[in-house]
Amino acid sequence: MPKWLKDAVFYEIYPQSFYDTNADGIGDFNGIIEKLDYIRGLGCNALWINPCFDSPFKDAGYDVRDYKKVAPRYGTNDDLVRLFDEAHKRDMHVLLDLVPGHTSEEHEWFCASQKAEKNEYSNRYVWTRSWGESAQGFPYVGGESERSGVYLLNFFKCQPALNYGFYRVDRPWQLPVDHPDCIATREAMKDVMRFWLDLGCDGYRVDMAASLVKNDDEKKSGTSAIWKDVRRMLDEEYPEAALVAEWGVPQQSLKAGFHMDFYLNWHLNGYSTLMRDYENHENGENHSYFKKDAGGDINRFLKDYLPQYLDTKEDGYFCLLTCNHDTNRPRLALDIPELKLAYAFLFTMPGVPYLYYGDEIGMRYLDLPTKEGGYSRTGSRTPMQWDESKNLGFSKGDAADLYLPVDPAPDAPTVSGQENDPDSLLNTVKALLALRHREKDLQADAEFSQLQTRIGQPFVYRRGDLVLAINPDGSEKTCTLPAAGEVIFSIGSAKAEGRTLTLGAQSFAVIR
């Protein structure tokens, strides 16, 4: 396990929307470099940058055309290396977004694989034997290639599936996972990983990490074997490089060699009940735990979270995030006081927390037409809002040229509008992250246990030797502490007298 993860806090950057330095309406690497001190000042000491490789951008860069070349709209390979270097000067780490399950249909591997004449890339992707043979239950495309056959897709039509083999082979065109051509695919991806690690990258967030081997068993044994092999390579050659999976099943991902997995926002899972419970009800009814007086129940979260945490806490970190590029921003359903409590919880739980750019100021989800395959996700990918100047400080270019429009509301939140307000969401985030860095008992691997979970009462939990309590309701509550202690941090009002803790409406406290 890389040692630096214990005290890491990640900041996720959607690069096209973060900061534009050349007035073309699209964010760039130089923009990220210019804002590193801001990110470090938040308390984030690590970055996750969404895909930045050369791409036709039919899926916002998740359709890679060249893994070893950055997209020109963000800059050059040298610019990305300079970003690594500048981050390292500030004791920050940088993860890139690796897309191993598929490429763009414009990737040179796929262009070669489409050819009728057999070549070294013919089996780099999954093909049937003839144009008239369907993929038998798998999504596929036919009729567009010189080669006689149809090819499998991993997600969108523009994303042909790379061939890591089939765990259960039941068609003549399916190759086993130990076929030399399937092993070659794995080794090619390891070569891509080495390329950027050698240039200063500190690891990878892995897109659709569970999608590699087809016809896999329920335990994802075939795919897990590949990641165990990758982990062996990292341990031997890059022991401080980190891997985080987009998987959402830590019992599989962490045991397969990943250092971290995300608690993804899936329908009716525990995470979805905290801030986005409206997605769980057809009528939009919202009983999110952090929604004031909404009747939320922390046990809905704990019932799902605790077994996963307990099963895997010795294997790696099951991580909580405020949002990501695929998820509605939490501001869609929560106001600023509610967000403060939600973040207090997320930033004081086990694992490594992830803060999505703009969530620290409460950026809104906007209802927008799709952009680069974003569809409903597009509204969470809008430009960062820095100040009250042109385009809210994101770009000096014309508004018509922006990657996406900025929030048009007259009260659109900005960094400059909050940085001098001690009670702002921005400064609350800074205070919470400073607390996490200061207190080892709030960092990734300190023990967690629940102490008080009754509905209508504060949620009380322990991290190491610290006791924490949250009251999301609109009225004052009291609870009994396991021992007398002192309040060392609070949001709202909190008073400890002996073993009695009194929490004002919508309050949070940390007791030593």
> Catalytic one among 207, 277, 445, 473?
207
Helices (H) and strands (E) in the chain, counts: 12, 20
SS3 per-residue string spanning 96-150 = EEECCCECCCCCHHHHHHCCCCCCCCCCCECECCCCCCCCCCCCEECCCCCCCCC
User: Whose structure tokens read 């023990």?
Assistant: 447
In DSSP notation, 141-193 reads E-SSSSSSS-EEBSSSTT-BBB---BSS--STTPPBTTSHHHHHHHHHHHHHH
C-alpha to C-alpha distance for 421 and 225, rounded to whole angstroms = 51
In DSSP notation, 442-496 reads GSTTS-EEEEE--TTS-EEEEETTEEEEEE-SSS-EEEE-SS---EEEEES-EEE
C-alpha to C-alpha distance for 213 and 176, rounded to whole angstroms = 9
- Please state, as a whole number, how many other Cβ atoms lie within 10 Å of the Cβ of residue 115: 13
Q: Is 207 a catalytic residue?
A: yes
C-alpha to C-alpha distance for 272 and 280, rounded to whole angstroms = 8
C-alpha to C-alpha distance for 77 and 83, rounded to whole angstroms = 10
Nearest to 209 by CA among 98, 352, 126: 98
Longest dimension (CA), the chain: 80
Q: Is 246 a catalytic residue?
A: yes
C-alpha to C-alpha distance for 98 and 294, rounded to whole angstroms = 39
Cβ neighbours of residue 337 under 8 Å, at least 6 residues apart? 292, 506
Which region holds residue 268: left if phi is over 0, alpha if psi is between -120 and 50, else beta? left
Cα 489–45–425 angle (5° rounding)?
45
Does residue 68 sit in helix, strand or coil?
strand
C-alpha to C-alpha distance for 32 and 358, rounded to whole angstroms = 14
Beta carbons of 292 and 337 less than 8 angstroms apart: yes
> What distances in angstroms separate CA 386 from CA 190, 389, 414, 434, one per listed residue?
38, 8, 5, 22
Instruction: Report the C-alpha dihedral over residues 277, 282, 283, 284, rounded to 10 degrees.
Output: 30
C-alpha to C-alpha distance for 418 and 405, rounded to whole angstroms = 21
- Please state, as a whole number, how many other Cβ atoms lie within 10 Å of the Cβ of residue 480: 12
The shares of helix, strand and coil residues in the chain, as percent rounded to the nearest 5, are 30, 20, 50
User: Kind of pairing, strands 260-262 and 242-245?
Assistant: parallel
> Catalytic one among 59, 105, 202, 246?
246
> What distances in angstroms separate CA 121 from CA 166, 186, 380, one per listed residue?
17, 13, 37
Residues designated catalytic: 207, 246
